[in-house]
Chain A
Amino acid sequence: AQSVTQLDSQVPVFEEAPVELRCNYSSSVSVYLFWYVQYPNQGLQLLLKYLSGSTLVKGINGFEAEFNKSQTSFHLRKPSVHISDTAEYFCAVSTNTGNQFYFGTGTSLTVIP
């Protein structure tokens, strides 16, 4: 079975500062990786995904993530956050041998004015 670990449950950061949200996974097979964002009282929206190819993936709203196979990580970064980035962020993994997504427990990002 796969598992996803988001090490930080809450991350406070000042406006215009950089941020990194960490995600590690465990899998013995090839993986596909995703980051989703959830704004209050809404469903999840895809930020970016890694299926194959370049390990640096760019997504919406200025976010990017880097797939590191040796460290089994897929950390999400943004060089300068805005108040509107305050939300819950979920990392997810799937594999080419299964039918399921596995989600991390989420990281609550709070941007402080």
Chain B
Amino acid sequence: DAGITQSPRHKVTETGTPVTLRCHQTENHRYMYWYRQDPGHGLRLIHYSYGVKDTDKGEVSDGYSVSRSKTEDFLLTLESATSSQTSVYFCAISEYRNNEQFFGPGTRLTVL
């Protein structure tokens, strides 16, 4: 299995609080991605990174920001969490652009 960990694995928070999710990889892959998974929507891309300090928006980026200061870490921040951001969040990594992505175990976030 690809070395990808996500932390925390579960989190319950209240509306309006900031939340940061962490993705850590040991594969030295260049590309990293954050997705959210919701029933009926499949996986939707939030943000992705194509190198240290290089990031771009995905399909559903509103309300989220990301940072990548090291190859191995990709952080997803909800500046002020809302109930609509209750979801399961997956991190993925890829060695090459547009090739196979490897997924982490996911973080289940509940915003009350």
Contact = CB atoms under 8 A, between A and B. Distances in A.
A105 B42 contact: yes
Interface of A: 6, 32, 34, 36, 41-46, 49, 51, 90, 94-96, 98-101, 103-106
A32 B35 CA distance: 19
A58 B69 CA distance: 38
Contact of A43 (B99, B100, B104): B104
B103 A99 contact: no
A16 to B, nearest CB: 29
Contacts of A46: 100-102
A49 B42 contact: no
Nearest to A49: B100
B103 A43 contact: yes
Contacts of A96: 98
A51 B97 CA distance: 12
Given A32-B99, A43-B104, A94-B98, A104 B58 contact: no
A94 B101 CA distance: 11
A101 B42 CA distance: 12
Contacts of A103: 35, 42-44
B98 A32 contact: yes
A45 B98 CA distance: 16
20 contacts: A34-B100, A36-B103, A41-B106, A43-B106, A44-B92, A44-B103, A46-B101, A46-B102, A49-B99, A90-B42, A94-B99, A98-B98, A99-B48, A100-B45, A100-B48, A100-B59, A101-B33, A101-B98, A101-B101, A103-B43
A63 to B, nearest CB: 15
